[in-house]
Chain A
Amino acid sequence: GAGVSQSPSNKVTEKGKDVELRCDPISGHTALYWYRQSLGQGLEFLIYFQGNSAPDKSGLPSDRFSAERTGGSVSTLTIQRTQQEDSAVYLCASSFTGGTGELFFGEGSRLTVL
C-alpha cells in the first residue's frame, strides 16, 4: 500500500485477555518500529526491526509484550494478559534505511483494556 497500515484501528478487551496488533509497512522499507502513546503523553519506543538483524526489544515494558516480523515485512505486536495500564495508542512506523531515514507512521491501533 501507499502508507503504513495498522489493524485493528480500535480494540476493546477485558483485563487478562491477549491481543494482537498488526502492522504492514511501506513496501521496500527495511526498518520497522513500534511506539506507544498513552493518553496525553509523548511517544515511547517499544521495539525496532531492521532487515534480518535481531530486533532491539529494549523498550518493551514487560515480558507480556512480544513482537515478530515475518518475511521482513508484516509485524505483529502481541500483549498477553492485558492490564488496564496497557491502554494506549500503539503506533507503527517504517523507514527505508533506519536511523538516518525518514520515518512514516501508521494511524495507530487504539487499545482499551476494561
Chain B
Amino acid sequence: GIQVEQSPPDLILQEGANSTLRCNFSDSVNNLQWFHQNPWGQLINLFYIPSGTKQNGRLSATTVATERYSLLYISSSQTTDSGVYFCAVVDSGAGSYQLTFGKGTKLSVIP
C-alpha cells in the first residue's frame, strides 16, 4: 500500500516563529488532506489539497503531486497551534477510497 512519511516528527517553536512541515508519499494520489489534532483529540480539517496551493490565514499548503510531496506552512505561530499535524492521502488506484495517514508532526509552540 501507499506509504506516507512526515517530517519532522517533533518540532518546538517560539511563539511568532514560522515553520514548514513536510509530507512525502510513495505513489500518485487523488486526495490529500492536512489535519490538526488538538490536545483534546479532535481532528480539524486544515486543507483538502491533492494538488496546487491554498492559503487560510496564517496557514498555507502546497502539494506537488508529480514529485509526491506536500508542504504545510505555519507563519507567526501561536500557542494554540500546538498539537499534532497529520497528512493523509488516498492513492489514485482504481476504486481506492481508504485515507492513509502519516505518523504526524508534533508541534509545541512555547510563549
List residues of chain A with CB under 8 Å of any chain B CB. Answer: 31, 33, 37, 42-43, 45, 48, 50, 56, 59, 89, 91, 93, 98-105, 107-108, 110
Contacts and interface: CB of A to CB of B under 8 A. Distances in A.
A100 B100 CA distance: 13
A42 B104 contact: yes
A42 B98 contact: no
Contacts of A105: 35, 42-43, 45
Contact of B102 (A37, A42, A50, A102): A42
A31 B99 CA distance: 12
Contacts of A101: 31
Interface residues of B, number: 24
Given A102-B48, A105-B43, A107-B41, A45 B98 contact: yes
Contact of A99 (B42, B45, B86, B97): B97
B70 to A, nearest CB: 15
Contact of B99 (A56, A103, A107, A108): A103
Contacts of B101: 42-43
B68 interface: no
Contacts of B71: none
A111 to B, nearest CB: 13
Given A42-B101, A48-B98, A50-B97, A100 B30 contact: yes
A99 B103 contact: no
B102 A45 contact: no
